[in-house]
Amino acid sequence: MSSRTAAVVAIDAGQTGMKVRVRTDQSVGEALLPGVRTDQPVLPQISVAARQIADEFELDIRHLAAGISGLTDGETTPDALAALARSAGAAHAVIAHDATTSYLGARGIAHGAVVAAGTGVVTLGVGPSGATRVDGWGYLMGDAGSGFWLGREALVAAMRDHDGRGAATALTGVVRDRWPDLEQAYIELQADPARVSVVASFAAEVARAGAVGDAVALDILRRAGDLLAESALTALRRVEAEPAVCAIGGVFRSEALRDEFTRALVAERPDARVVEPAGIGIDGVEALIDLPAQHPLAALTWSARA
């Protein structure tokens, strides 16, 4: 029987996909697997993915690291972590919320703040006073400035235009393209099980309309930039962090939003600067393995041996 190759397996587990990186002494490879279901326990899904990769490539997993969307407190207990390591066939397992690994990917161990804005948004600040999370409370209670927030504001603006309560906007035509009968749109949307992603899909339309000068779309983008800057400034203040801010995620592809985000940051903190990310989420997942115990983010990670 052939011997198995010692490896480090890192999994960046989002809801749209799981990016897997396998590192051995001889090579580094990556794979993409289906995303995690956050309406179900996530650790068993990580275990299945790790075991699948290990069996396919005949790996002996020395370290399994995962940054996970939808991680709950009940899954960070020592027993849960030890069970993950055993079921995945790993000697050691370390996990964290994907907000933590996004930070590590973007900033490494340096202090500052990272705003990660896609369909949802979460901001993490790291400084001398520790680590803090701002927002990331979901589309019903938070996620201010996120893709969902942008999309919902687009729908509101379209219906205000339709009623005659608000300014005319190209967004109305975009919404009508999806729902030709605007007065039935809210019924169809409420009944759609994918309504969160449907609403968030309009964020790209807001960016496109803003890029060609639609006043309503530009107002939405600027308000989103202000909200995201507010989260970053709050995180910096709470942990007395160096004012270096990394802005990542699809929302920041809008030039108007990013410009307003930067303007609002500097207006409040003239010493603030927006910095480019050092890497991506999967890099942050790998960084969990060697994260210094004294680093503020170490308190937001959990590990165990099989």
CATH number, residue 95: 3.30.420.40
CA distances from 166 to 10, 182, 183, 213, 278 (A): 49, 15, 16, 17, 42
Q: For 86, list phi and psi in degrees, rounded to 5.
A: -65, -50
Total residues found in the chain within this entry = 306
Please check whether residues 180 and 197 belong to one and the same domain.
yes
What one-character-per-residue DSSP string does 196-263 give? HHHHHHHHHHHHHHHHTT-HHHHHHHHHHHHHHHHHHHHHHHHHT--SEEEEESGGGG-HHHHHHHHH
Same domain, 288 and 253: no
266 and 126 co-located in one domain: yes
Residue 57 has pLDDT above 70, yes or no: yes
Q: Which residues contact 229 (CB under 8 A, 6 or more apart)?
A: 260, 261, 262, 264, 265, 268
CA separation, residue 190 to residues 55, 62, 185 (Å):
43, 47, 9
Residues 158, 188 within the same domain: yes
User: What is the C-alpha to C-alpha distance for residues 36 and 46, in angstroms, rounded to an integer?
Assistant: 8
Mean pLDDT, range 263-280, rounded to an integer: 96
The parent domain of residue 270 ranges over: 109-277
Same domain for 294 and 254: no
Q: Are residues 266 and 165 in the same domain?
A: yes
Q: Which three-class secondary structure state does DSSP give residue 276?
A: coil
Asked if residue 13 and residue 55 are part of one domain, the reply reads yes
Phi and psi, residue 280, nearest 5°: -120, 180
Q: What does the pLDDT average to over 28-51?
A: 88
CA quadruple 188, 193, 198, 199: dihedral sign: positive
Residues 169 and 199 in one domain: yes
Q: What is the mean pLDDT of residues 31-43?
A: 85
Question: What is the pLDDT averaged over residues 153-181?
Answer: 97
Q: Residue 1's pLDDT is what?
A: 39
Residues 136 and 209 in one domain: yes
Is 144 in the same domain as 181?
Answer: yes
Does residue 207 share a domain with residue 81?
no
Burial letters for 111-149: b for 16+ Cβ neighbours within 10 Å, e otherwise?
bbbbbbbbbbbbbbbbbeeebbbbbbeebeebbbbbbbb
Please state, rounded to an integer, the average pLDDT across all residues of the chain.
93
Lowest pLDDT segment from 5-19, 118-132, 140-154, 193-207: 5-19
Position with higher pLDDT, 78 vs 247: 247
The pLDDT of residue 162 is: 97
**Segment of 83-87, 139-143, 153-157 carrying the highest mean pLDDT:** 153-157
- pTM given for the model: 0.87
Total domains, the chain = 2
281 three-state secondary structure: helix
287 and 255 inside one domain: no
Q: Is the pLDDT score of 222 beyond 50?
A: yes
